[in-house]
Amino acid sequence: MTIKYTKEHEWLRVEGNIGTVGISDYAQEQLGDIVFVELPEITKKIIKSDTVAVVESVKAASEIYAPVGGEICEVNQALEDNPEKVNAAAMDGGWFFKLEINNIDDLDDLMDEATYKEYVEGLE
């Protein structure tokens, strides 16, 4: 399953028309210990770049933006009791939400793995 990234460090994996969204390992490390995640409501309709979720670290709140537009169909309930999962498993178990993608063209400007890696190296 190919993975795509945004400049704001969200990742997206697409299977059929369902996208799973999380934040990158780089992002969780920058944020530090995560203590709370505010997830969207299921059936919420979002457009690309909308603020969809909020992740609270010890020091501050950060917004999570939609890499693509669609309708929220599932959220990661495990994060309610264990927000630290985002730190421990940002790239898989720490996923935030799934959505039914409504416009596949939204993926066009997302970065692939190699491009994102270069992008992050440029930030450090």
Partner 1 sequence: MSDNNNQALKQTPLHALHLQHGGKMVAFAGYELPVHYQEGIIAEHLHTRKEAGLFDVSHMGQLILRGDNVAAALETLVAGDIQQLAADKLRYTVLTNDNGGIIDDLIVTNHASHLHLVVNASRKELDYNHIASKLQGRCTLEERHDRALLALQGPAAAAVMARMAPACRHILFMTAQPLKVAGVPCLVSRSGYSGEDGYEISVPADDVEHVARLFLGEPEVKPIGLGARDTLRLEAGLCLYGNDINETTTPVEAGLSWTVSRRRRAEGGFPGADVIVAQISDGVKRKRVGLRIAGKAPVRAQAEVMDNDSNIIGEVTSGGYGPSVGGPVAMGYVDVADAQPGSEIKFMVRGKLLPGRVEKLPFVKHRYVTR
Residue closer to partner 1, measured from CB, 70 or 83: 83
Q: Do 23 and 39 contact (CB within 8 A), yes or no?
A: no
Q: How many residues bind partner 1 (CB under 8 A)?
A: 13
Six-digit token pair at 90?
A: 């940002």
Residues 22 to 81 in contact with partner 1, rule: CB under 8 A: 32-33, 35-36, 38, 54, 56, 58-61, 80
If one counts every other C-beta atom within 10 angstroms of the C-beta of residue 41, the result is 7
* Rounded alpha-carbon distances, angstroms, from residue 53 to 86, 112, 119: 13, 23, 23
88 scored as a contact of partner 1 (CB under 8 A): no
Residue closer to partner 1, measured from CB, 1 or 58: 58
Residue closer to partner 1, measured from CB, 4 or 85: 85
Count the residues in the chain: 124
Residues that bind partner 1 (CB under 8 A): 32-33, 35-36, 38, 54, 56, 58-61, 80, 83
